[in-house]
Amino acid sequence: MRHITLAATALALAACSPFPETTLPFFGDGYRAKGDLCRRIGEDDFTNQFLDDAADLVGCPADMENLGVFVTETGAKEVALIDGYRLYSVPRR
């Protein structure tokens, strides 16, 4: 019985995660500041079409509350929507 309770607790905690399941190659602790929900994305078969030497590829949860502020402050251009994430090309300054 204890194993069932532990499994149910683990599933409930996973459901509360602010990050949708994805295979996107995220890296870093947050984009702009440690702990930010947006994160940089590396190269794979899907993302290579969006990579640019003059910009960072960044993914943010599609339902993130302050996406408008992020776009305005960074000059980000949305390039894709996949797995519950909006991908942005953010010019390096």
pLDDT in tens for each of the 93 residues of the chain? Answer: 555 544 444 444 444 556 789 999 999 999 999 999 999 999 999 999 999 999 999 999 999 999 999 999 999 999 999 999 999 999 998
Stated pTM of the model: 0.80
pLDDT of residue 92: 95
pLDDT of residue 6: 47
Q: How far apart are CA 76 and CA 91, in angstroms?
A: 7
Within 13 Å of residue 23, how many CA atoms lie on the same side as its CB? Answer: 4
- What is the radius of gyration, based on Cα positions, of the chain? 16
